[in-house]
A and B are shown apart, each in its own frame.
Chain A
Amino acid sequence: MALLDHTSAVIYMRDLDGRYLLVNGEFERLFDVRRDDLVGLTDHDLFPQEVADNFRANDLAAIAHGRPVELEETAPSNTGTRTYVTVKFPLMDDDGEPYAICGISTDITARKKAEQEVIRLNEELEERVRQRTAELEASTRELDAFAYSVSHDLRAPLRSLAGYSEVIREDYADMLDETGRNYLHRIEVNTGRMSQMIDDLLNLSRTTRAALRRRQVDISSLAGEVVAELRESHPDRNVQVSVADGLTAEGDPHLIRLVLHNLLSNAWKFTARRDPAVIDVVSGDAGVLVVRDNGDGFDMRYAGKLFDPFQRLHAASDFEGSGIGLAIVQRIVQRHGGRIWATSDVGQGATFHFTLNSLGGTAGIEEQT
Chain B
Amino acid sequence: MNSGTILLVEDNPDDVMFTLRAFKRNKIFNEIVVARDGEVASDLLFPANESEALTPALVLLDVNLPKVDGLQILERIRSHPRTAGLPVVVLTTSNEERDIVQSYRLGANSFVRKPVMFDEFVNATKVLGVYWLLVNEPAPAPRIESHQQ
| CB proximity of A363 to chain B, nearest CB, Å | 39
B104 within 8 Å of A (CB atoms): no
A159 touches B116 (CB 8 A): yes
- Given A152-B94, A167-B21, A160–B117 Cβ distance below 8 Å? no
Closest chain A CB from B61 CB (angstroms): 16
A163–B94 CB distance below 8 A: no
**B15 at the A/B interface (Cβ < 8 Å)?**
yes
Chain A residues with CB under 8 Å of B94's CB are: 152
Q: Are B18 and A163 in contact (CB under 8 A)?
A: yes
- B15, B114, B116: residue with the most chain A Cβ atoms closer than 10 Å: B116
Residues on the B chain within 8 Å of A156, using CB? 12, 14-15, 93
Q: How far is the CA of A167 from the CA of B94 in the complex (A)?
A: 25
Given contacts A152-B94, A164-B14, A191-B116, contact A159 B121 (CB under 8 A): yes
Interface size on B, as a range, is: 10 to 19
Contacting residues, chain B, for A162 (C-beta < 8 A)? 116-118
Asked if B145 is at the interface (CB within 8 A of a chain A CB), the reply is no
How far apart sit A159 and B114, CA to CA, in the bound complex (Å)?
Answer: 9
Chain A 151-162: CB-based contact to B (< 8 A → 1; otherwise 0): 011011011101
Asked whether A163 lies within 8 Å of B121 as measured between CB atoms, the reply is: yes
Is B52 at the interface (CB under 8 A from chain A)? no
Interface bin, chain A: 10 to 19
Chain B nearest CB, measured from A354 CB (Å): 27
Partner of B117, one of A153, A164, A167, A191: A191
The verdict on A166 contacting B93 (CB below 8 Å), with A159-B14, A159-B15 known, is: no
CB contacts (< 8 Å) of A160 on chain B: these are 12, 14-15, 18
Asked if B119 CB lies within 8 Å of chain A CBs, one says: yes
Q: Are B15 and A166 in contact (CB under 8 A)?
A: no
A40 adjacent to chain B (CB < 8 Å):
no
> Closest residue to B119 on the A side, CB-wise?
A166
Q: Is the CB of A152 within 8 A of B14?
A: no
Q: Given A156-B12, A156-B15, are A163 and B93 neighbors across the interface (CB < 8 Å)?
A: no
Within 8 A of A (CB), among B33-68: none
- Against B, the Cβ 8 Å flags (1 = close, 0 = not) of A114-158 are 000000000000000000000000000000000010001101101
Give a binary string over B72-114; 1 marks a CB under 8 Å from any A CB, 0 the rest.
0000000000000000000001101000000000000000001
Do residues B21 and A195 form an inter-chain contact, with CB atoms below 8 A? Answer: no
Query: CA–CA, A249 to B75, complex, Å?
Result: 46
Task: Pick from B12, B15, B93, B119: contact of A152, CB below 8 A.
Answer: B93
Q: A291-315 interface mask toward B, CB cutoff 8 Å, 1 = contact, 0 = none?
A: 0000000000000000000000000
Which chain B residue lies CB-closest to A196? B116
CB distance from B59 to the nearest CB of A (A): 20
Q: Which residues of B contact A59 (CB under 8 A)?
A: none
A48 sits at the interface (CB 8 A):
no
How far, in angstroms, from A33 to B111 measured CA to CA in the complex?
89
- 12 A-B pairs in the complex with CB atoms less than 8 angstroms apart: A152-B94, A155-B93, A156-B93, A159-B15, A159-B18, A159-B118, A160-B18, A163-B18, A167-B118, A191-B116, A191-B117, A192-B117
* Top 5 closest pairs, chain A to chain B, by CB: A195-B116, A160-B14, A166-B118, A163-B118, A159-B116
A residues near B, CB below 8 A? Answer: 148, 152-153, 155-156, 158-160, 162-164, 166-167, 188, 191-192, 195
With A155-B114, A166-B118, A192-B116 given, can you name 6 additional A-B contacts, CB distance below 8 Å? A148-B96, A152-B94, A155-B116, A156-B15, A159-B116, A163-B118
